[in-house]
Amino acid sequence: METPTALQNVLYMPRTFATTESNKTGAWRFLRPRYEEKTSPCGAACPAGEDIARIEMLITQGAFKEAWETILMENPLPGVCGRVCYHPCEGRCNRREFDAAVAIHSLERFLADAAARNETKPALPRQPAAGRRIAIIGAGPAGLSAAWFLNILGYETDIFEAMPAAGGMTRWGIPAYRLPEAALSAEIARIEAQGVRIHTGETVTAARFEEMRKSYDALFLGCGHWRGLSLDIPGATGVGVEEGLSFLRDIRGGVRRDIPGVSAVIGGGNTAIDVARTIIRRGGRAIIVYRRRREDMPAFAEETRSAQEEGVELRELLAPVRIDAAAGGCVLTLQPMTVVGQDQDGRGKIVPAAAAPVRIAAQRVFTAAGAGTAAPWHEPPASGASGAVLALSHCVLLQDDRGAPVVYGGDLAARDKNVTQAIASGKQAALALDVLFRHGVGSVRERLASCVVGHGPALSLEIYLGGPRRERNAHIVTYEEINADYFQYEPRLVQPRLLIEERHSSFDEIELKISAHTAMREAGRCFHCGICNNCDNCYLFCPDVAILRARDMTDRHIDYDYCKGCGLCVVECPRNAMTLEEETP
């Protein structure tokens, strides 16, 4: 039995029932935090300006449709780009400095495949009908992209395609093991379902082009570089020498052809690699000969690596001199080269080495030494030509008195010729034409500059249309600005691939599918640089309970009556979605 002491009865404890809210600690503040989303390095590096940080965030939430639609706002071909884009986004991923870049391209492909499998229909905002018709020549990625964005902007679009099916180089130049036909066709079908009309098998001649300049309100010329350039050496047009691009086109077109024995492939671009890997799949051996060094090859490094895995032989610093017919094929004569200093473009400058020529006996020689326009009128006009010529980063806009304005795009105008740059070109053309119709050609540069992602040159349709992304600061988040304490090391997704043996005999896609679970886990590695993912750290760390939000985590804002500017929220934000500034009187 305890003896109660007098003490406990008189315990003298001050307390107050008045609310502490009377103490407006905000008056102490000289630094002011605020929510301010910034630009992720991946999104700024994407030629199509995809909102990658947000896409990955939506994937972590299992919102696959919304993530896919977020891509479609900036890029109509995620199923293509998820497979064949050189993914500069991953090269700039801040996570590289932590462990390894997020496998952004695999997730993009996952979203496109999931949408295609489920036949998902995107719900995208379409602007009111503009009452104008645009003709697009060429159903390659540039033309499809231009049509897609013009369609969203309210224009009627007709694509004229000379080949029997749409897709351009993605269909006829990229082998099926990298881009299966079904994946491409699903994307084209969706573009058509949005209202884009595609007229295949319709070649547009120079005369018809001039006619269209009278009957349409604008034209987009995106017919690409379809003519493989031949080598300027003796024997380059002789027996046993084939042009690589048309070879790829034949194979994609269904020509069943075995290529036994040894074939030499001349060139260092993606076409050379694709030709060599196709030869492997047709029962032959392929030797790529390139006049510069391996590191100077314009082909994507991953493609070169895969080719070598499959048995393609790569011989560098050998310049072709002549091709001679010989019994059972031809003999390729090559001059060994050596590197002396640097070229203007930073690659090693090559000069003939003091060495005897090398001879390679091959059954066939394939040339893959670049491509050019099929007809001279495809070339964009130089500035100074008659009429107003506006040269943009990915397009050339011509306005003269011969008819409707023309935009030259895709490979015709792009410095870097690949699918994603072509998509960027199509988007730039669509936005430029919209500005031109609404505000006149004089406003095009300025208006386009106001909708770049980060510091450009990629453009964003969402920003152009005044969506939430417009509010983001152009500052590109650096790794130092990420609070890495909130992340754990986790290995990058390893995409399952066909065995080498399986690849030798088939054009089946090499990279296999990943599950939704795997995709969500990989997206979970993303820092979501610069964007708020409702992690609630600001709310949890605020010592003044000055972060207010609704129960469903929306409408998060700062109560400046009580925020005393300690900056904890900004420091604890793992992804730099907040900014701390000096209070201005």
Residues found near another protein in the complex (CB under 8 A): 2-3, 5, 7-8, 10-18, 20
Cβ nearer to another protein, comparing 15 with 214? 15
Cβ nearer to another protein, comparing 14 with 341? 14
H/E element, 314: strand 313-315
Q: What is the DSSP string of 42-73?
A: HHHH-TT---HHHHHHHHHTT-HHHHHHHHHT
Cβ nearer to another protein, comparing 16 with 515? 16
Rounded-to-integer distance, Cα 166 and Cα 138, Å: 8
Would you state the structure tokens that stand for residue 211, as one six-digit string? 């006619």
Q: How many angstroms separate the most distant Cα atoms in the chain?
A: 119
Q: Are 537 and 522 in contact (CB under 8 A)?
A: no
SS3 string, 375-387, reads CHHHCCCCCCCCC
Name the DSSP class of 229. Answer: P
Rounded-to-integer distance, Cα 137 and Cα 316, Å: 38
Minimal distance in Å, beta carbon 3 to another protein? 7
Q: Where are the beta strands (DSSP E) in 392-531?
A: 396-399, 406-408
Cβ nearer to another protein, comparing 19 with 515? 19
Minimal distance in Å, beta carbon 557 to another protein? 24
Minimal distance in Å, beta carbon 2 to another protein? 7
Minimal distance in Å, beta carbon 13 to another protein? 6
Rounded-to-integer distance, Cα 525 and Cα 57, Å: 10
Minimal distance in Å, beta carbon 5 to another protein? 5
Minimal distance in Å, beta carbon 4 to another protein? 9
Query: Both ends of the chain: CA-CA distance in Å?
Result: 65
Rounded-to-integer distance, Cα 434 and Cα 149, Å: 10
Cβ nearer to another protein, comparing 10 with 499? 10
Cβ nearer to another protein, comparing 14 with 328? 14
Cβ nearer to another protein, comparing 214 with 551? 551
Minimal distance in Å, beta carbon 561 to another protein? 18
Minimal distance in Å, beta carbon 566 to another protein? 15
Cβ nearer to another protein, comparing 17 with 489? 17
Which among 169, 556, 205 has a CA at the least distance from the CA of 378? Answer: 205
H/E element, 265: strand 261-266
